[in-house]
Amino acid sequence: MSRLQFALDRISFARNYTRRFLHDFPLEQWFHMPAEGVTHVAWQVGHIAYAQYRLTLLRFRGAAPIDAELMPEAFQAAFRPQSIDPSPDPSRYPSAESIRATLDHVHAAVMAELPGFPDADLDSPITPTHDIATSKIEVLHWCADHELVHAGQIALLRRLCGHKPIW
């Protein structure tokens, strides 16, 4: 198995793990914040989509014309790391359905566009730079790890919203 395929498999594993926590979580509860200072499922999912786009597509191929539709600026503004003041007010965000669709569309684009990337280029530096990953292969591994961090937060939010844990 190539290094690229291994990294993409890790990203797919992380996404499938995240989906386990979302499959029966009602969209109507996505903006519920069980306590002050805590985010909500909508922010977590939107942030995962934002991060996957920025860590993979943007750093592997640069911005493309399709990105205006795939990852609009308003979506990025709502879910970037600096947007750490989440609100339970759904009017401040895209709809839960739209957030979920963006999550799925970004992941599909990654899985369609990246498999053909030359293995020899995986050690090349990334632009823009990142605090954790310095090469393209490292940023792919961080993409998977980052999603798993947020999947854990979604799992906790599920429980705080009264749902049974999923193992």
- In this prediction, residue 37 has a pLDDT band, given cuts at 50, 70 and 90, of confident
Burial class (CB in 10 A: 0-12, 13-18, 19+), 111: middle
What pLDDT, on the 0 to 100 scale, is given for residue 102? 98
For the whole prediction, is pTM greater than 0.85?
A: yes
DSSP letter at 163? P
Q: Residues of the chain with pLDDT > 90: what percent? A: 91
Alpha carbon distances (Å) from 3 to 70, 85, 107: 27, 37, 19
pLDDT band at 107 (very low <50, low <70, confident <90, very high): very high
What does the pLDDT read at residue 83? 78
Q: What is the dihedral of CA 75, 80, 85, 91, to 10 degrees?
A: 10
d(CA 87, CA 111) in angstroms, rounded, equals 32
Please say if the pLDDT value at position 152 is more than 90: yes
pLDDT in tens, 18-33: 999 999 999 999 999 9
